[in-house]
A and B are shown apart, each in its own frame.
Chain A
């Protein structure tokens, strides 16, 4: 079975600072990895995904993530935070086994101060 660990339930940054949200996964087979963002009282929006190929993936709103198999990590970064980035971020994994559905981490709330 697969699992996802997100380090830090809350991360605070200043506007313009680097954003780093950490995600580690465990899986017995090669995973597909995703980051979703959730704004208050809304559903989940896909930020970016890793399937195969290039390990550095770019997403919407200037976010990117790097898949590191040796570290079983898929950390999310953005060079310069904007106030509008304040939201909850979820890392998720899916594997091609059984009925294949998403397994989520507990989420990290990103707080951006002026």
Chain B
């Protein structure tokens, strides 16, 4: 198992810019979710992808968008960055239908918006 890998590990952006975060899912996992974790908070669900389509979304505005590729890697894109977007962004993957195994998480990307 290679686990879930995310890049970059840290990123600093200016308010109004756009950012793309990347995730490589664990081998064999075809479902990927993205979470936002603000300082001192629990992770908040952004959206989930399965078979390259979004199949669930949390309470985040449309400027948060994503992609999943045929090799199950994925991207999180955020447009028009705001200061409140500063957070740790976590990618997590699982095999569809295998809820009991839970999700495997990456180490996250720390985004700072200035």
Contacts and interface: CB of A to CB of B under 8 A. Distances in A.
Interface of A: 32, 34, 36, 41-46, 49, 51-52, 90, 92, 94, 96, 98-107
A32 B102 contact: yes
26 contacts: A32-B100, A34-B102, A36-B105, A41-B110, A42-B107, A42-B108, A43-B105, A44-B105, A45-B105, A46-B102, A46-B104, A49-B101, A90-B42, A92-B102, A94-B102, A99-B50, A100-B99, A101-B45, A101-B48, A102-B35, A102-B45, A102-B92, A104-B43, A105-B42, A106-B42, A107-B41
A8 B36 CA distance: 22
Nearest to A109: B40
Contacts of A46: 102, 104
Nearest to A52: B100
